[in-house]
Structure 1
Amino acid sequence: MSSVPPASDPLAPLLDLPGVREAADRARDALSAVHRHPANLRGWDKTATEASWRAGRSSAAIDGGSVELRRDGDFDDPILSGAMRVAQALDGDALEQITGVFRRAPAQAFARLHVLAAADLVGDADELGRPSDRPGVAERLGLLGQLVTGSTAVPAPVLAAVVHGELLGLEAFETANGIVARAASRLVCTASGLDPHNLGVPEVTWMRRVDEYRALSEQFSQGSADGVGGWVVLCCEALEAGAAEARSIADAARSGG
């Protein structure tokens, strides 16, 4: 991701919407602080794995999946199963690999996330990873890819919210778009250095505030200033609360819990 502001930044006006800049700063500071937690200085691999499990479960629940989680890797619910495959792809060595793909070719990363998320949900395997051919889908995915690869210099929490909201509203794939969108938001956070080890768990907040999450994502898609600003602020608040969730994981790891 480029750190050099482009000549004309398409997302720059978002920073003037009420509360956006402040919410983004709070999210950044909270995630930065949790990376300095003693348990995360050397043992972040363990806390990140716990975070990925919580994220996968919460993401599945948002889309109506089961909350029954088994650590043997065998999940009866197809939504939960897909969400946990995605969670595993965003953890450990696999995270570095998919983050690298995301930085270079975001569309390939979106497709990979869909393959993982929807493997048990589609009848035709040829649909996996293949965006819809509806008019405008390819163009909007292309614009998202440009944002990820450097056509904006807005703070990472804002970019994560935009990528998340766009993928939800676009419904580029036949199914599992929510899980793909939330995972893509996470990839913005890792690729930008906002949350390089994927310690935060914003999905918990989106799950707890699911009615607001759905309403604001719809308003974001409609494009009004209030709707866009409200969605970005919600996503930033979830990142901030996700850092608090990460702190609780780190505290438990340090105390041996």
Structure 2
Amino acid sequence: MSADPLASLASMEGVPSAFAATRDGIDALLRDRGLRRTEPAFTTESLLRGAIASARLEGSTSTAEEMREGTGDGIVQSALRVSTEVLSLVPTVRATPLQAFARLHAVAATGVLEPEELGRPRDAESAERLRVLASRLTAPTTAPAMLVAAIVHAELISAAPFASHNGIVARAAERLVLVARGVDEKSLLVPEGAHARLQAQYESNLRAYAQASGTSGVHSWLLYAAEAYAVAGELSPLRG
């Protein structure tokens, strides 16, 4: 593996400009809304919106009211538990990403899987995929932080390393990386909501990422992710 394993992805046609434009928009949103004065309630609302969207993407049939009241189905409960845990893992994902991913899964799958399955990869191949992903995260890179978050998301979805809840874990990990790498330090964006709004594109590009034998699927996913993060800003509680 090269010293900068993400450099080749960051140089794909159209990718640098797409992420740069999205980052400019996000920075303007956070700056113009007075980020330093942002109340914790905005972060709480962003996390709640994200959990609701993630649960819906995972197949929850609970109503929005049930989700907000915390009385939804098991999928909702998993997503809500993860939403309350994710920001505490910022230092962990910076230093030991594998531990952060394992913790997200353990929280999501509590009460669903046997205790010995919580946070554990399904098999040796899954463990290796996680190890490689973690090594990418801890290696120095010049790649945009949003690109890193997008790759984490797609890798965790396509590898499906855990016995359950891989979608919820992947979307939470994406939010976690956006926070840890300084894109959205107070977690005010709602990337899960963007994926729900763009669900057809989201699912199509994830399939392409997982199935493509070359780089076309990765390229398409990254361009999609730049668009989705712009929508994540539109869905922020800062917008109302």
1:15-54, CA deviations, whole angstroms, 9 ceiling, x for partnerless residues?
A: 2323211221122112212221335331241211111111
State the match for 2:78 in structure 1: 82
TM-score by length of structure 2 reads 0.91
Of 64-73 and 53-62, deviating more is: 64-73
Which residue of 221, 225, 231 corresponds with 1:231?
221
Structure 2 residue identity aligned to 1:45: P
- Whether contact under 8 Å (1:66, 1:80) holds in the other structure is no
Distance 1:30 1:165, change over 3 A: same
1:40 and 2:38 aligned: no
| Aligned counterparts, 1:1-257, within 5 A | 8-38=3-33, 40-68=35-63, 69-70=65-66, 74-90=70-86, 95=87, 97-122=88-113, 124-133=114-123, 135-223=124-212, 224-246=214-236, 249-252=237-240
Greater RCO, 1 or 2 (C-alpha within 8 Å, sep 6+): 1
Structure 2 Cα separation of the partners of residues 225 and 194 of structure 1: 26
Instruction: Compute the RMSD of aligned alpha carbons.
Output: 2.0
Structure 1 Cα separation of the partners of residues 138 and 19 of structure 2: 20
Following TM superposition, the consecutive aligned residue runs of length 4 or more in structure 1 with deviations greater than 6 angstroms are: none
Of 72-81 and 195-204, deviating more is: 72-81
Structure 2 residue identity aligned to 1:195: D
Structure 2 residue identity aligned to 1:147: R
Structure 2 Cα separation of the partners of residues 56 and 71 of structure 1: 9
- Alpha-carbon shift at residue 71 of structure 1 (Å): 6.9
Structure 2: unaligned runs, 5 residues or longer: none
- Alpha-carbon shift at residue 13 of structure 1 (Å): 1.5
Structure 1: unaligned runs, 5 residues or longer: 1-5, 253-257
Residues matched between the structures, number = 238
- Whether contact under 8 Å (1:79, 1:121) holds in the other structure is no
Structure 2 Cα separation of the partners of residues 241 and 51 of structure 1: 13
- Alpha-carbon shift at residue 57 of structure 1 (Å): 0.3
